[in-house]
RNA sequence: GGGUCCGUGGCGCAGCACGGAUAGCGCGUCAGCCUUCUAAGCUGAAUGUCCUGGGUUCAAAUCCCAGCGGACCCGCCA
């Protein structure tokens, strides 16, 4: 018989046995929650219940006595996977029958192969995972790179779980910043890039944005000198100084480009004004503005696609924010919001009273907010009538729900408030169900040691640089360790090792924690890394290759070593880990699991022979175990998009 | 000022959702292991007020409250 989830079988049996025993011994039908913990030591079995501690007071007996009593009334005839049950210090410990369990587990893994572990949900949904969505202004930098890695891993997990998943990339081309890059690009005469297009666009954006900001501040300073108090003037002066130093930095890095843009922008009457006009024209859908902004955005996206393809991340849909505006969906949403009692006008702008929505619909407790917390209002439109990001996002969210039951937005945690306001806007419009099924997967920032990464200031390390460096270091590593390989093999190995290392490192740490970027951290080739797991996989493959036989004579009851049992147990628990990772959206559980399994296998590898083990029934059992480990490592790595190599 | 998230050996992290028996792992340090299945590996040693203080509980790194420290947010930016 093939079981999908071996450890769950054992767990179920423990539950049944314990329920029966408590009914018999304590005439207690409901015994409270039937949760089991993993004992700290295999001596105490593989699952334990601490239920006697809870019941002690109720029955006025010592936990140890209760435990003994319960164990006494256990019906041993019902044992399937259980070997024995013992009472130790108030705990009830369930010991596995490893002969049966190993056989059950290893046969299941080897039979199911690449499907093992991926337990399907009983309620398949259509889920949209919106991720990456880096603005098309500059290359994807390492601070943002956590997003596609997490987003892609989430999408894969949910897909394996049996959901229908669509990955969407939201192209934010409507904001003012898009007009800034388009403006600079236009001033340069819309040149063809002489390098990777997103890098090219990034330079223009940074310089243009810096020069325009300087212009704006200088004007502001002139006005302030006459009217504003002196501390205000000092503040502006300080800002100017800061931007001047950035300008100097940029001038040194890209002298030719800087000079040309400086000249063009000085020549312009009012760059600020022209950019605002372009922004307005683009939102209105004026053909010339459309052509210009789309052209430069496409250029940048072309570069993104290249990078993302390289790491194996792909999308089902690329959604242009501008399409939402032009199609009238944004204004429609705006009209409907206006018709609610939650929108008011203030000084020519539309404001959305998020606080009132939360209060009227009594949502604070539900959303995990304190009653006395006041949700700040959200500005829906500027005085010139153009819309703001979150306003457009309301329309976008509704569009996503046309296609899906559930939407997960992978967005940095700095946008938590905006996401909250978005949700409240959905409530205001009556889309309660959408609001409930909208999830914000927030992740913390990646920072560079010393200073904050800033795309506006051109201070960033691009994902491309990181990937190149990773592959290069992996190449040096593989050349050193395996000089006998051909050049082609080395290149291929360096590629998947380097890319794998980066993906793993960005998924491995709990998304809620901030990460300080260091090369060593991302390019780790030792324990706790993709290369370590890949190496372990290759090692297992190597054994199987050398054995060159099917483990037909395997006798699993011979797997008596603690290391072997630990391995069987770990392999058997993969389905449960997978379910947790899928239900609680924790891709890092998979990375941790793969690493832990590798640890155990390597210990086993160093301690016990496989091929040369005697008798052959044992050798074959270990071979089957090795095969099962290989399969599970492969499956785990596939979730985080890392190649599991046969050789390295 | 208000909100969200984070705080675990020198450093980087896991464990916290669902409280359980001696708090795991890696780096670094020290001492070892390649004529035996891939040394990107393994073994051993040293290193802890689990931020602090209260509370809940038979039991708290885990739950609750308060405080401290850090990051982020509170914009007619996205």
Backbone angles phi, psi at A634, to 5 degrees: -60, -50
Q: Is the pLDDT of residue A259 over 60?
A: yes
Cα of A235 vs its chain's centroid, Å: 39
Nucleotide nearest to A53 (CA to C1'): B58
Question: What would the pLDDT profile of A518-558 be if each residue is shown by its tens digit?
Answer: 888 888 888 889 999 999 999 999 999 999 999 999 999 99
What is the distance in angstroms measured between the alpha-carbon CA of A504 and the sugar C1' of B47? 28
Answer positive or negative: Cα dihedral of A26, A12, A595, A468. negative
In chain A, CATH 3.30.1360.70 sits at: 6-96
Mean pLDDT, rounded, of chain A: 92
Question: What would the pLDDT profile of A297-353 be if each residue is shown by its tens digit?
Answer: 999 999 999 999 999 999 999 999 999 999 999 999 999 999 999 999 988 899 999
Comparing A147-151, A160-164, A517-521, A614-618, the range with the smallest average pLDDT is A517-521
Question: What would the pLDDT profile of A179-220 be if each residue is shown by its tens digit?
Answer: 999 999 999 999 999 999 999 999 999 999 999 989 888 888
Q: Is the pLDDT of residue A224 over 90?
A: no
Each residue of A384-408: b (16+ CB within 10 Å) or e? eebbbebbbbbbbbbbbbeebbbbb
Q: What is the pLDDT of residue A31?
A: 58
What is the distance in angstroms measured between the alpha-carbon CA of A172 and the sugar C1' of B75? 18
Contacting residues for A289 by C-beta, under 8 A, at least 6 apart:
A182, A278, A281, A282
Q: What is the pLDDT confidence band of residue A230, given thresholds at 50, 70 and 90?
A: confident
Nucleotide nearest to A480 (CA to C1'): B40
Nucleotide nearest to A387 (CA to C1'): B76
**Exposed/middle/buried for A442, CB within 10 Å: 0-12, 13-18, 19+?**
middle
Q: What is the pLDDT of residue A450?
A: 66
User: Over the Cα atoms of chain A, what is R_g?
Assistant: 30
ipTM of model: 0.95
Q: Within 7 Å: CB of A588 and strand B? A: yes
Q: What is the pLDDT of residue A112?
A: 97
- Between CA A159 and CA A146 the distance in angstroms is 20
Q: What is the pLDDT of residue A625?
A: 97
Q: Is the pLDDT of residue A583 over 80?
A: yes
Chain A residues 376-405 within 7 Å (CB) of strand B: 376, 379, 382-384, 388-390
Q: Which CATH class is domain A6-96?
A: alpha beta
Nucleotide nearest to A531 (CA to C1'): B40
- Between CA A279 and CA A115 the distance in angstroms is 50
Q: Could you give the 3-state DSSP secondary structure of residue A317?
A: strand
Q: What is the pLDDT confidence band of residue A94, given thresholds at 50, 70 and 90?
A: very high
Q: Within 7 Å: CB of A233 and strand B? A: no
Answer positive or negative: Cα dihedral of A634, A635, A637, A641. positive
Average pLDDT over residues A161-173: 97
Q: Is the pLDDT of residue A590 over 80?
A: yes
Q: What is the pLDDT of residue A104?
A: 96
Q: Is the pLDDT of residue A35 over 90?
A: no
Among the ranges A275-284, A476-485, A524-533, A570-579, which has the highest mean pLDDT value?
A570-579
Nucleotides of B under 7 A from a protein CB: 2-7, 12-15, 17-22, 24-27, 36-43, 58-59, 70-78
Percent of chain A scoring above 90 in pLDDT: 74
- Between CA A190 and CA A365 the distance in angstroms is 52
Q: What is the pLDDT of residue A516?
A: 84
Cα of A489 vs its chain's centroid, Å: 31
Chain A residues 518-537 within 7 Å (CB) of strand B: 521, 524-528, 531-532, 535
CB A42 within 8 Å of CB A562: yes
Q: What is the pLDDT of residue A217?
A: 87
Q: What is the pLDDT of residue A451?
A: 64
Torsion of CA A180, A183, A189, A195, to 10 degrees: 10
Question: What would the pLDDT profile of A20-33 be if each residue is shown by its tens digit?
Answer: 888 888 776 555 66
Question: What would the pLDDT profile of A426-471 be if each residue is shown by its tens digit?
Answer: 999 999 999 999 999 999 988 887 666 777 677 788 999 999 999 9
Q: What is the pLDDT of residue A313?
A: 97
Polymer length of chain A: 648
What angle, rounded to 10 degrees, do the helices at A51-59 and A63-72 form? 110
Place of tokens 């060593």: A520
What is the distance in angstroms measured between the alpha-carbon CA of A92 and the sugar C1' of B50? 28
Look up the protein residue whose alpha carbon has the minimum distance to the C1' of B42.
A606
- Between CA A512 and CA A416 the distance in angstroms is 12
CA nearest neighbour of A210 among A265, A281, A172, A255: A265
Residue A320 tokens, joined: 């242009």
């Amino acid at each position: 018989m093939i079981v999908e989830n071996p450890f769950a079988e054992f767990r179920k049996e423990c539950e049944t046995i314990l329920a029966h025993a408590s009914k018999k011994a304590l005439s207690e039908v409901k015994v409270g929650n039937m949760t089991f913990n993993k004992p700290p030591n295999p001596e105490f079995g593989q699952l334990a219940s601490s239920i006697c501690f809870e019941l002690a007071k109720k029955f006025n007996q010592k936990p140890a006595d209760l435990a003994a009593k319960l164990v006494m009334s256990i019906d041993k005839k019902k044992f399937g996977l259980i070997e024995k049950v013992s009472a130790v210090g108030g705990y009830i410990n369930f010991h596995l029958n490893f002969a049966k369990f190993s056989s059950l587990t290893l046969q299941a893994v080897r039979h199911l192969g690449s499907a093992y572990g991926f337990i399907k949900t009983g309620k398949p949904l259509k889920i949209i995972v919106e991720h990456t969505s880096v603005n098309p202004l500059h290359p994807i930098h390492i601070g943002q790179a956590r997003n596609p890695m997490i987003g892609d891993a989430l999408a894969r997990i949910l897909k394996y779980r049996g959901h229908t998943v669509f990955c969407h990339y939201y192209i934010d081309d409507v904001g003012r910043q898009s007009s800034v890059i388009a403006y600079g690009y236009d001033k340069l005469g819309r040149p063809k890039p002489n390098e990777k297009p997103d890098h090219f666009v990034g330079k223009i954006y940074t310089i243009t944005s810096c020069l325009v900001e300087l212009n704006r501040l200088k004007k502001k300073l002139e006005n302030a000198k006459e009217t504003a108090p002196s501390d205000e003037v000092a503040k502006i002066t300080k800002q100017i100084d800061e931007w001047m130093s950035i300008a100097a930095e940029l001038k040194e890095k890209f002298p030719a480009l800087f000079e040309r843009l400086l000249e063009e922008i000085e020549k312009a009457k009012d760059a600020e004004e022209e950019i605002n006009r372009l922004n307005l024209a683009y939102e209105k859908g004026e053909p010339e503005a459309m052509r210009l902004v789309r052209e430069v955005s496409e250029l940048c996206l072309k570069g993104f696609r290249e990078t993302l393809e390289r790491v194996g991340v792909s999308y089902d849909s690329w959604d242009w924010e501008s399409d939402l505006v032009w199609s009238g969906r944004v204004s429609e949403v705006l009209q409907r919001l206006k018709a609610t009692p939650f929108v008011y006008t203030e000084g020519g702008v539309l404001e959305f009273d998020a606080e009132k929505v939360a209060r009227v619909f009594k949502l604070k407790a539900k959303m995990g907010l304190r009653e006395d917390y006041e949700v700040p209002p959200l500005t829906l439109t500027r005085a010139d009538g153009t819309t703001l990001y979150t306003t457009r996002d309301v329309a976008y969210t509704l569009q996503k729900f046309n296609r899906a039951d559930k939407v997960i937005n992978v967005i940095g945690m700095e946008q938590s408030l905006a996401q909250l306001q978005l949700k409240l806007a959905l409530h205001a419009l009556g889309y309660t169900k959408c609001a409930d099924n909208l999830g914000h997967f927030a992740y913390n920032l990646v920072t560079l040691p010393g200073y904050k990464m800033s795309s506006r200031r051109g201070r960033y390390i691009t994902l491309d640089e990181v990937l190149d460096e990773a592959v290069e270091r992996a190449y040096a590593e593989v050349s050193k360790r395996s000089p006998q390989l051909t050049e082609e093999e080395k290149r291929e190995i360096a590629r998947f090792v380097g890319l794998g290392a980066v993906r793993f490192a960005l998924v491995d740490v709990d998304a809620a924690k901030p990460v300080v970027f260091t090369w060593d951290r991302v390019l780790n080739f030792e324990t706790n890394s993709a290369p370590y797991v890949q190496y372990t996989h290759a090692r297992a493959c190597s054994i199987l290759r050398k054995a060159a036989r099917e483990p037909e004579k395997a006798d699993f009851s011979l797997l008596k070593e603690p290391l072997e049992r630990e391995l069987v147990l770990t392999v058997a628990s993969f389905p449960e880990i997978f379910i947790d990772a899928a239900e609680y959206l924790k891709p890092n559980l998979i990375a941790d699991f793969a690493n832990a399994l590798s640890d155990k296998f390597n210990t086993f590898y160093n301690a016990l022979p496989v091929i040369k083990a005697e008798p052959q029934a044992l050798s074959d059992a270990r071979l089957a175990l090795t095969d099962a480990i290989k399969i599970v490592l492969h499956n785990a790595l596939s979730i985080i998009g890392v190649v599991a190599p046969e050789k390295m």
